[in-house]
Amino acid sequence: MFAMCWNKRQIESCFVDGIGFNRLGILLAAWLNIGRRCVVVLLYLFALLPLVTFVNAQDAGAPCGIVDSIDMPITGLVPGYDDFARFRGRFGGLHTGLDIGFNRWGDPVAAAARGRVTYADVEGWGTEKGVVIIEHIFPDNSRVYSVYGHTEETETIKFPQVGQCVERGDIIAAIGWPSRGLPHLHYELRAFLPDDGGPGYVDNNPLRQGWYHPLDFTQTWRVRLNPAFIDYISFDLPPSLPPVTLDNGEYVIASGSNVAAFAPTGEAAWRITTDSAVTGLAALPENRVVVRTASGQTMGLFNGRFIALWTVTGPDVPFVTIGEAVVFITENGGLDAYDWLGTPLWSVGNNSPSPRVTHFEANTVEIAFGERGQNGVDWRLVDGNGRIQLETRFNTAPAMTHHSDGSWVAVDDGQLQRVAAGQRQLIADVDSSPQQLYALTVDITGNSYVFIGGRQRLVSVSPEGAVRWQVEYPGSFSPFTPLMDTGGGCLLYTLDADGMLHVFNAMDGTLLNQVALYPGGERTGHPTARVLTVDANERVQVSPGFLSMFTLDGRVLGGGASNCVVG
């Protein structure tokens, strides 16, 4: 039932069925000056609504404006540090925010974006210091609360007033010194609790309980505010392999031993847990999924249901698909192909007791398979029926890609080569200092684009072998080479392991644009889960290997350069 509360003091302390009302609802009732019976009915009806709904209904519109830019609350973040959702036994749960700004006691803390202060209390967390909460309204009409915990006031920095409007960059607090740790800022983004500091730690994945990853959310909204933005999806687990897309538009990810499908709107469609870490994931037509784990367990899935289960032994290398065939490397370095139900289709034998795989990739007609031997890399091309088309040897582990005409292009020992019709052909010498890290792609007209890692150079070569241009690569050195792709032939795209997407003019190598994406921290990011694909209409699908995947308009990113004449 509900308590009887008539005057302002009674109303302020009134709780109905354990749900407390904030002052705005109280002032609304007083302003209307309605009778005590109506007040009881009004409060009773509010009590039936979820607290978040009640809070959201307080404001029709955005009295402090719509967010048009967003930052982190302090600068000087430690690269790679990310403790969101990290379990800490000391506090008995998973962290709901980020702890940043260690040993910077008294440093100013800024509002991440424009919004309205909903809570400000210098004793909000008792001996753990104060809390400020700001409500932000985003262009999609979503309401998000930024939380600044372990904060203090100083002689020159004071907390804002509840109800006050703030702008991005306004100083709202100082980094405090909590009783149970070093000076630092606890920073959260969440969809609820506008006037409560919150627990700080929870038992289950905070992404499924209304919290957002602060770094990913911030970078995601920066991308969403970019004119080139088309669409995005965010997952509640970081993928450990590149996500795949089903015919119905769902995205399927593998994260550790978990496999989950997400609708384009971001809701989970289904989830399963396997017996060990997932090492292979592929989508087949008609919404079918094939998964393989580190134990060799292989399964065919449909709508999250197990349709087939079998075991495939061999190295922990992601399998490939060609047509309806699902192809695995065997324990002796051969190939075994199955259909998605586990029925054997064909095999290619070999006699290598401990295969060291350097390359395993398929285009629409052939499989390229490289294995390190005593005198180089033994490389084979196998068609979709298991027939060997070519056996050859490279000096090193070549970087390789396939052309839309079915041929392959490789960089081996600084030499750019084409492999087609069972023959290898030298195109050009692109590097005088071989044994570097290479990556490459080929556009629709046959121009090659080669990244040379040790020299941080980007080179374009014509189909005839002439160097079209070469430029210094803007990214920093990484043991992971960039992903590369071209669309209609006017623009070149690269995606670095640190999440930076570069857009170049494919005609002369000019850097046209850059888009920063959040790739996760040192413990949470997976550079091998990155995705970069571009279609002929310059529609770019990109993921930095963490929680979010984006679709961008390359024509906007490239500006006038996207209207070149190809050929």
DSSP string, 126-189: GGG-EEEEEEEE-TTS-EEEEEEEEEE--SS--PPPTT-EE-TT-EEEEEB--TTSSSBEEEEE
| pLDDT band per the 50, 70, 90 thresholds, residue 93 | very high
What is the mean pLDDT of the segment spanning 452-468? 93
| pLDDT band per the 50, 70, 90 thresholds, residue 183 | very high
Cβ pair 500, 456 in contact under 8 A = no
Give the Cα-Cα-Cα angle 428, 434, 440 (nearest 5 degrees).
55
Highest mean pLDDT among 20-29, 101-110, 308-317, 445-454: 101-110
Q: Which domains does the chain show, CATH number per domain?
A: 8-56 (no CATH), 87-219 (2.70.70.10)
Q: Is 35 exposed, middle or buried (0-12, 13-18, 19+ CB in 10 A)?
A: exposed
| Average pLDDT across the chain, whole number | 88
According to DSSP, the residues that pair with 511 across neighbouring strands are 504
Q: What pLDDT, on the 0 to 100 scale, is given for residue 36?
A: 31
567: pLDDT strictly greater than 90: no
| pLDDT band per the 50, 70, 90 thresholds, residue 30 | very low
Q: What pLDDT, on the 0 to 100 scale, is given for residue 405?
A: 87
Q: Over the stretch 361-409, which tens digit does the pLDDT of each residue have?
A: 999 999 999 998 888 888 999 999 999 999 999 988 889 998 888 899 9
The answer, as to whether pTM is greater than 0.85, is yes
The residue type found at 399 is A
Q: Over the stretch 100-130, which tens digit does the pLDDT of each residue have?
A: 999 999 999 999 999 999 999 999 999 999 9
Instruction: Flag the least confident range among 1-10, 65-74, 289-298.
Output: 1-10
Q: What pLDDT, on the 0 to 100 scale, is given for residue 34?
A: 32
Instruction: Flag the least confident range among 232-246, 316-330, 343-357, 450-464.
Output: 343-357
At residue 275, the 3 state secondary structure works out as coil
182: pLDDT strictly greater than 70: yes
Q: What pLDDT, on the 0 to 100 scale, is given for residue 521?
A: 95
At residue 518, the 3 state secondary structure works out as coil
